[in-house]
């Protein structure tokens, strides 16, 4: 069923109770009424997400349409409303011991609306054509926008036609996958939103003029950086290290990534 709407991988829908979906070194707890998803990193021709972190299993925002309600779902729902009380009465009749009444789970609190983001400061004015300064400024805006979950800024840092690549570890070794700009941005933010104590730091940064470029033309810059992402998924720590490579191009005074490739180390 994998297609443009449904990525290839494992889907886990919970009707009652809870399950734990474990994949790619992380796990996510799925409560009743929710659906968890873990993508298949070795699936051919699958649109992948941007950061290594997004290989971890996540909760989906809505139940996929392929979960068609069954003819007995309503009967099961009605049964589940009273099953605890019925089971307790049966246990009391067999043991002769009066038990405390089962407690109902508290209704989940309504999610508060996300605070409005402060406007992103304008990009710094760079005099001349220092590749390292250009790379530092671009990566700084990118990293801050991810932490802020600022989709508008992230979209503005990548060229509309970009097709990024990710080389990730899978059960069969290494697999290289491709994804478009909107897929990369949306799935990255959705995944990071499901994590706790997410952190990212860069342990190296290199930047040079692209082949054929000079300080006079200053059209393209190659940026390479080793990034470490870490955090917690359901209380369990995880850590990924990857080499990120970007080709930045200056368009109308703005530096945009026209190619991007991240490789898990």
* pLDDT at position 106: 53
CB 60 within 8 A of CB 35: yes
Domain ranges of the chain: 131-264
CA dist 205 to 32, 125, 202, 246, Å?
Answer: 45, 20, 7, 11
Residue 192 and residue 28: Cα distance in Å, rounded?
Answer: 13
CA dihedral 227, 182, 12, 166 (to 10 degrees): -40
For 22-67, write each residue's pLDDT tens digit. Answer: 876 677 888 888 888 887 766 654 443 344 555 567 778 788 878 8
Q: Are strands 196-209 and 173-180 parallel, antiparallel or unpaired?
A: unpaired
Among 145-159, 197-211, 232-246, which is the least confidently predicted range? 232-246
For 177-201, write each residue's pLDDT tens digit. Answer: 777 888 777 777 766 776 778 788 8
How much is the pTM? 0.60
For 73-120, write each residue's pLDDT tens digit. Answer: 777 777 766 777 777 788 788 887 777 765 555 544 444 444 566 677
CB 265 within 8 A of CB 241: yes
Average of per-residue pLDDT values in the chain: 79
* pLDDT at position 206: 95
For 118-140, write each residue's pLDDT tens digit. Answer: 677 777 788 889 999 999 999 99
Decide which of 112 and 19 is more confident.
Answer: 19
Decide which of 227 and 49 is more confident.
Answer: 227
Residue 204 has pLDDT above 90, yes or no: yes
* Helix runs in the chain, H state only: 73-95, 131-148, 151-157, 181-193
Asked: is 131-264 a CATH 3.40.50.12280 domain? The reply is no
Strand boundaries in 160-235, DSSP class E: 163-170, 173-180, 196-209, 220-233
Q: Which residues pair with 29 in a beta bridge?
A: 20
């Amino acid at each position: 069923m994998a297609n443009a709407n449904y990525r290839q991988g494992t889907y886990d829908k919970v009707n009652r109770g809870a399950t734990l979906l474990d994949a790619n070194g992380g796990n996510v707890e799925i409560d009743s009424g929710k659906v968890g998803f873990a993508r298949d990193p070795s699936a051919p021709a699958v649109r992948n997400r941007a950061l290594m972190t997004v290989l971890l299993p996540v909760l989906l925002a809505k139940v996929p349409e392929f979960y068609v309600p069954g003819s007995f779902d309503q009967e099961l729902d009605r049964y589940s409303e009273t099953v605890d009380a019925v089971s307790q009465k049966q246990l009391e009749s067999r043991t002769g011991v009066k038990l405390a009444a089962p407690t109902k789970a508290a209704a989940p609190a309504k999610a508060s609306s996300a605070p409005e983001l402060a406007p992103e400061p304008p990009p710094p004015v760079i005099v001349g054509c220092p590749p390292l300064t250009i790379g530092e400024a671009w990566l700084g805006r990118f990293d801050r926008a991810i932490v802020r979950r600022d989709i508008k800024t992230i979209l503005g840092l990548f060229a509309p036609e970009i097709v990024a690549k990710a080389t990730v570890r899978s059960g069969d070794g290494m697999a290289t996958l491709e994804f478009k700009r909107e897929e990369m941005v949306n799935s990255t933010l959705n995944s990071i939103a499901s994590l706790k104590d997410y952190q990212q730091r860069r342990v190296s940064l290199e930047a040079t003029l692209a082949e054929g470029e000079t300080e006079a033309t200053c059209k393209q810059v190659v940026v390479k950086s080793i990034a470490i992402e870490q955090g917690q998924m359901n209380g369990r720590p995880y850590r990924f290290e990857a080499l990120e490579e970007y080709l930045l191009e200056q368009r109308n005074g703005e530096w945009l990534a026209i190619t991007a490739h991240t490789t898990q180390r």
